[in-house]
Amino acid sequence: MIKVGILGAKGYTAGELMRLLVNHPQATLACLMARVDTPEPVENYFPQLRGVVTLPVEPMNLDALASRCDAVFLALPHTTAQEYAPGLIAKGVKILDLSADFRFDSVVSYEETYKVKHLAPELNAQMPYALPELFRSQITSDLPGLAIPGCYTTTSILGLAPLMTHGDVLDLDHIVINALSGVTGAGRKPGEATHFPECNESVTAYKVASQRHRPEIEEKLSILAGRTVRLTFTPHLMPMNRGILATCSIPMKRPVTTAEAHGWYEAFYQGEPFVRVLPEGLVPATSGVVYSNFCDLGVVADNHSGMLLAFSATDNLTKGASGQAIQAMNALFGLDETLGLLPEKRS
């Protein structure tokens, strides 16, 4: 059994990790830590886990954490994980970092995007971007850890990836992504925008033309395209708890049929257990993926406007965070990626 710990055990992604890991056949929760003064029961933060997770949430102590764990999930805020990852790795622990601190290939891009100095640039080069469907070959057992992509980036990148090799027929300089997310995507810390009276029965665009995930999406899509890709990314807050839907629009250089584009997606994701290309003409809904590690995809050609439309849906807490982190952990330890993540089959 892989003994796993969670650092930052009070947040939504930590709760999702616990929900999934209690049913993992080859991993066991060994330690939960967060910024608390004294040990507290998990049900103080996640009442649904009462009697299911009996470990307490303990004050942060890296020596104790490393002594009990083979791997640690860093469920910490952006710019914070880099403070803890080097020390844990030095103690022989594998790291699964759910923040953005190690996601960029370019440290310069990270520093420009998050307005901080990177504290571990040498480690950044050793922690690949763990989106298995696209970068599986980079995940090897000798790595010190992995950078886990987030919800908006996962949803958008998986939605667009099959199109990146078709720059001869698509305009990769004018991609537009409109993505809608449930409120849990903002994290547990309360704010005015996520206060119930402010966000209920309202849809709001935010951080227009300045969202910090755009450079990350551009960097990864450019790798897949073999050239620089440019896009506009606009996030929207939806009055629901979970789920993301991304609508991606790309101008066509020549007419493309829906059947032709659908064939690109089916061929690209053939055999991927967590990516479901819907039947031709159908588009996904968040209700089809919540509480799961699936990404549902659809593509439609609009030859009236000359645009190809790609649609992608995920659960922001599962495939967009904790489920993907477990999928990456499975790959890092040489296990079947689906362990602990597929729905139970019932006869």
Catalytic-labelled residue, pool 31, 151, 199, 248: 151
CA distance 317 to 113: 23
Q: Please check the confidence at residue 56 and state whether its pLDDT lies above 60.
A: yes
What is the per-residue pLDDT across 145-156, written as a single tens digit (0 to 9) for each? 999 999 999 999
pLDDT band at 16 (very low <50, low <70, confident <90, very high): very high
Catalytic status, residue 151: yes
Q: What pLDDT score does 346 carry?
A: 58
CA distance 138 to 341: 21
Average pLDDT (205-219) is 91
Average pLDDT (299-311) is 97
Average pLDDT (188-198) is 77
Q: Please check the confidence at residue 345 and state whether its pLDDT lies above 70.
A: no
Query: What share of the chain in percent tops pLDDT 70?
Result: 99
CB 297 within 8 A of CB 269: yes
pTM given for the model: 0.95
| The residue to which tokens 């997310």 are assigned | 181
Q: How far is CA 344 from CA 24, 179, 288, 327, 341, in A?
A: 12, 30, 16, 16, 9
Q: Please check the confidence at residue 304 and state whether its pLDDT lies above 80.
A: yes
